Amino acid sequence: MVKIHPNCWSEHGELKTVMVCSPSSLDIPDQRTADYVGWEKPVNQETAKENHEGMIKAMEDAGVTVIDYSLYLKEDKAELNHQLINRVFVRDLACVYGNTVIPGDAGITMRAPEYLHSHELFETWFDEKTFSIKNNNQLKALENGDVFVLNKDAVFINTGMRTSMESIEEVQQEIFRAGFSEIGIIDLPRTGETMHLDMNCNVSGSDLLIAKSYMRLFPVQIITEKGARYVMMEEFLRRQGFDVLWTDDVKHTVADINFLNLDPETLLVSTKANKKILKDHPKLQGKKLIEVDVNELEKGGGGIRCMTLPLERN
């Protein structure tokens, strides 16, 4: 097992270690089934696995250590886990806040086994100071696609379809203890297209965030250890050093928004991404784009960011 020293103080630092999980062994055979399980389209898992292997290779070619947590599961847990259709979306399972790993909690019971399996592994990978499985005992729903670690001072969280305000209130003291001074909370509409924060915006560097234009109308509640107040989203982000590129050019929510920063100058993006968005701001002009075909995986309703859980960034 690779020795992991959790260290994530941003979304854009050089990615050193990332956790993934290979796709399920079960196909989604038709549109009716896809509708029932909340996926966009039917999925052939053999093709999905080929996509996933290509994504892993792109990260490894960039010097990133990739850990597939499913390879460390044993016996009955391994037997169940490979049948879980959403297991590929590992971002939701936990978040590294600085040097502290805080577990999430499934927003739907269909995903609960993945959280248990990964968190039990984390107990063996990290010491109790770094990760405590008890930290989600009082949570009602906290999926970390709703969480951005903006910088060493602030995190940005959505309370919405899969994350409850009660859970944010439960975990906020752990976030402050991890070294952050400010939590910005936004409350987005509860729809499939706005399920998580990272389906609506994404950090694209040290000082730029790309967001769907409708979000500029939403206030953000800023919580500190001394109290709380409200500001508009753009003011919150500008105070943290970010310009915002507001865009209406999102054609495919997952492909266009759900990319991954490999380092401050490099983005791992879907071949289906609208590249125009990634050229619409002076701070994006010099970015290197590494494209990977994740089309079959995206039919499950999540993209590259959803399928990667950063554990170490420089």
In tens, the pLDDT along 70-101 reads: 999 999 999 999 999 999 999 999 999 999 99
Contact 297, 48 (CB under 8 A): yes
pLDDT band at 135; cut points 50, 70, 90: confident
Residue 193, domain member (yes or no): yes
Residue 1, domain member (yes or no): no
Give the residue among 276, 99, 275, 284 at the shortest CA–CA distance from 203: 284
Which residues are 149's β-sheet partners?
Answer: 155
Query: What is the per-residue pLDDT for 136?
Result: 85
Query: What is the per-residue pLDDT for 138?
Result: 84
pLDDT at 1 over 70: no
Residue 144, domain member (yes or no): yes
Query: What is the per-residue pLDDT for 54?
Result: 98
pLDDT at 38 over 80: yes
Query: What is the per-residue pLDDT for 286?
Result: 87
Instruction: Spell out the SS3 assignment of the chain.
Output: CCCCCCEECCCCCCEEEEEECCCCCCCECCHHHHHHHCCCCCECHHHHHHHHHHHHHHHHHCCCEEEEHHHHCCHHHHHHHCCCCCCCCHHHHEEEEECEEEECECCCHHHHHHHHHHHHHHHHHCCCCCECHHHHCCCCCECHHHEEECCCCEEEEECCCCCCHHHHHHHHHHHHHCCCCEEEEECCCCCHHHCCHHHCEEECCCCEEEEEHHHHHCEEEEEECCEEEEEEHHHHHHHCCCEEEEECCCCCHHHHHCCEEEECCEEEEECCCCCCHHHCCHHHCCCEEEEECCHHHHCCCCCCCCCCEEEEEC
pLDDT band at 140; cut points 50, 70, 90: confident
> Positive or negative, the Cα torsion across 25, 26, 29, 33?
negative
pLDDT at 124 over 60: yes
pLDDT at 141 over 90: yes
224-243 confidence digits (pLDDT tens): 999 999 999 999 999 999 99
Residue 6, domain member (yes or no): no
Separation of alpha carbons 311 and 257, rounded Å: 21
Give the residue among 232, 165, 242, 189 at the shortest CA–CA distance from 11: 242
Distance of CA 89 to the CA centre of its chain: 8
Query: What is the per-residue pLDDT for 285?
Result: 87
Query: What is the per-residue pLDDT for 248?
Result: 93
Query: What is the per-residue pLDDT for 193?
Result: 79
Residue 298, domain member (yes or no): yes
Residue 182, domain member (yes or no): yes
Q: To 5 degrees, how large is the angle CA 238–CA 150–CA 295? A: 110
pLDDT at 198 over 80: yes
Residue 3, domain member (yes or no): no
Query: What is the per-residue pLDDT for 8?
Result: 98
* Listed range (22-26, 124-128, 193-197, 217-221) with the worst mean pLDDT: 193-197
Separation of alpha carbons 146 and 187, rounded Å: 10
Amino acid code (one letter) for 224:
T
289-314 confidence digits (pLDDT tens): 999 999 999 999 999 999 999 999 99
239 token code pair: 């105070």
- Kind of pairing, strands 65-68 and 15-20? parallel
Which position has the higher pLDDT, 262 or 281?
Answer: 262
Residue 85, domain member (yes or no): yes
> Positive or negative, the Cα torsion across 101, 103, 104, 110?
positive
Q: Look up the domain containing 86 and give its range.
A: 15-313
> Positive or negative, the Cα torsion across 159, 165, 167, 173?
positive
Tell me whether residue 156 is exposed, middle or buried, using C-beta atoms within 10 angstroms of its C-beta: 0 to 12, 13 to 18, 19 or more.
Answer: buried
Residue at token pair 């909370």: 185
Q: What is the pLDDT of the chain when averaged over all its residues?
A: 95
CATH number for the domain that contains residue 301: 3.75.10.10
Tell me the chain's radius of gyration from C-alpha atoms.
Answer: 18
Q: Report the percentage of the chain scoring pLDDT > 70.
A: 99
Query: What is the per-residue pLDDT for 2?
Result: 60
**Mean pLDDT within 8-12:** 97
Q: How many domains does the chain have?
A: 1
